[in-house]
Structure 1
Amino acid sequence: MAEDKRFTFEDYEEIRNFLQGKTKCRPKILIICGSGLGGLADRLEDSYKIVYEDIPKFPVSTVKGHVGQLVFGKLGDKEVVCMQGRFHLYEGYPAWKVAIPIRVMSLMGVKTVIVTNAAGGINRSYNVGDFMMIKDHINMMGMTGGNPLMGPNDERFGPRFPPMSKAYDRTMREQASDIAKELGLGRLIRDGVYCSLSGPSFETPAELRFLQTIGADAVGMSTCPEVVVAKHCGLRVFGMSLITNKCILDYDNDEEANHEEVLETGRQRASDMQNLIARLVERMSNSEKINNGNGVI
């Protein structure tokens, strides 16, 4: 797919205006549902669904396990919007287009982004079914020319050179860990570094050993473009990976990674992850301010 002409601020406003004309919901929280984890959107009350194909200038999701719609509604007493299906570089989208929903939602008034994904466990202490709270990431796509902020910068969204040293909100990570313990899931919680590659091929043992050497605990094919743009827009971010498979670093291992394994683990752990995220949203104060990594603003 050829590189599309980048959107102007007015293009994002057009999408925002379309969505606001369809629903009275004005969410402060965006939840991005990873592979097999879209069931959280089914818990929303007073929900209103808009399929991606009906949204002007919006990308569409082509991946099995991703429904491909926005779901607006209430989770407890909070107005939220869920993305049932996200976008990836391996679908042919440039990095900036993968992150279109983030900018649109920031214009709608979203202040917090909760991003989930399915990931392979590189850290040998991780088990299938574990939840990894993302404390940092390695944006391999961005480091090799796929940063979503490349090109002209619009100061109305954020600064030319946004810091990423504290991309993931520590307070929310601690809250999520406490909630997991309350739910009896404490044994499943990990705290680690997520690495994002473009895909769609799964990694070779040599590639995985390289990622292990540079400090990655888990690897996937999403999340980093969305988080980079969210921080550019001044949004608070909480990220969590469901470890759906153990990465194969041993040349003598006859097993192979596959997407069906990812989806099956997602189905098995979906309820636990949904309960955790729902309770995390429930505990968020309606008046909570944004932590931009340099203090609360």
Structure 2
Amino acid sequence: MTTETNAARQVRARAPGARPRIAVVLGSGWGGLTDHLANAIRIPYSELEGFPQATVAGHSGELWLGDIAGHEVAVMSGRKHAYETGEVNGMRVPLETLKALGCDTVVLTNAAGSLKPGMGTGSLMVINDYINVTQRSPLVGEGGSERFVNMTNAFDPALRVIAHDVARDAGVSLHEGVYLWCFGPQFETPAEIRMFERLGADAVGMSTVPETIIARHIGLKVIAFSLITNMAAGMSAEDLSHQHTLEQARAAGATAGMLLARVITHI
């Protein structure tokens, strides 16, 4: 299922030769990927109908079109978070646009808090499943049987194998685990984290799950990564803040960007 969008037509007008196959959504700390992007064309979200306006520090609000080692990619530098407006379908138009441009795979990234003592700040985790603790869906209001999306293996198993192989060859430790989505924007309480740990969560954050649901609904394959920027509430003496998240994300950004670029070349 492919939906043509006004934004797709606007992108083609700016970059008529672009034929990206892989889409990437950059979360906090993952901006180093753009250092690996050649022949880049940058289009501000403000020029693309239906794309989010950047309201979160660390999200530049641009669509980059270019290539990494000969692989054409479309990179979203910044996303719409549900906590910004209360709506959970803010990434619908951008993902439909990327699909219309030719993408068949989306790489989602985020900054997250760790619930695993052995997965500390600066760690990287490939996501193998999620817990939608909010039980909010961007598909509410959709019609037809397509709305009943099978979310088993929402994160493509074959792509996860590639990620582990690439990380091993690069000498990068890559964890794997379950990501739990909280609505935000406030951080979680220690009591909530203890509950989430019992539910089976390995990392917690405020994004990624709505995009995963939308992506699977429109037929995109998904692989997703978390950059651990803090231990979750109550698990350390860290003073949790968005500024702290950005500082820790910047510290690990070069490794994250390098790994992501290498994974893309093997997809």
**Common fold: TM-score over 0.5:** yes
Q: Provide the C-alpha distance between the structure 2 equivalents of 1:57 and 1:240, rounded to a whole number of angstroms.
A: 25
Q: How far did residue 229 of structure 1 move?
A: 0.6
**Secondary structure of 1:25's partner?**
coil
Question: 1:171-192 deviations in whole A, cap 9, x for unaligned?
Answer: 111111121121111xx32110
Is 1:167 matched with 2:150? no
Structure number with the bigger relative contact order (C-alpha 8 A, sep ≥ 6) is: 2
The one-letter amino acid of 1:17's match is R
The within-5 A match list for 1:174-185 is 174-185=161-172
**Secondary structure of 2:90's partner?**
helix
Is 1:204 matched with 2:196? no
Question: 1:12-60 deviations in whole A, cap 9, x for unaligned?
Answer: 5222111111112111100111112212123211110111111123221
Q: How far did residue 249 of structure 1 move?
A: 2.7
Question: 1:144-195 deviations in whole A, cap 9, x for unaligned?
Answer: xx2001103378xxx121100110011111111121121111xx32110001
Is 1:105 matched with 2:95? no
Specify the alignment match of 2:227 in structure 1. Answer: 242
Structure 2 unmatched ranges of 5 or more: none
Say which of 62, 81, 85 aligns to 1:92: 85
The within-5 A match list for 1:200-279 is 200-249=185-234, 255-279=238-262
Which stretches of structure 1, 4 residues or more, deviate above 6 A after TM superposition?
none
Q: How far did residue 93 of structure 1 move?
A: 4.9
Structure 1 unmatched ranges of 5 or more: 1-8, 285-297
What is the number of equivalent residue pairs in this alignment?
Answer: 265
Say which of 104, 116, 123 aligns to 2:109: 116
Question: 1:66-88 deviations in whole A, cap 9, x for unaligned?
Answer: 11100001111111011111110
RMSD: 1.7
Q: How far did residue 98 of structure 1 move?
A: 3.0
Specify the alignment match of 1:20 in structure 2. Answer: 12
Q: Provide the C-alpha distance between the structure 2 equivalents of 1:197 and 1:248, rounded to a whole number of angstroms.
A: 13
> Contact (CA 8 Å) 2:50, 2:94: kept in 1 or not?
no
Larger mean Cα displacement after TM superposition, 87-96 or 69-78: 87-96
TM-score (norm 1): 0.85
Q: How far did residue 103 of structure 1 move?
A: 1.4
> Contact (CA 8 Å) 2:129, 2:178: kept in 1 or not?
yes
Question: 1:243-289 deviations in whole A, cap 9, x for unaligned?
Answer: 11011235xx65421112211221121111111111111122xxxxx
Larger mean Cα displacement after TM superposition, 199-208 or 254-263: 254-263
Q: Provide the C-alpha distance between the structure 2 equivalents of 1:52 and 1:154, rounded to a whole number of angstroms.
A: 31
Identical columns (%): 37
TM-score (norm 2): 0.94
The within-5 A match list for 1:149-168 is 149-153=139-143, 159-168=146-155
> Contact (CA 8 Å) 1:122, 1:246: kept in 2 or not?
yes
Say which of 249, 272, 280 aligns to 2:263: 280
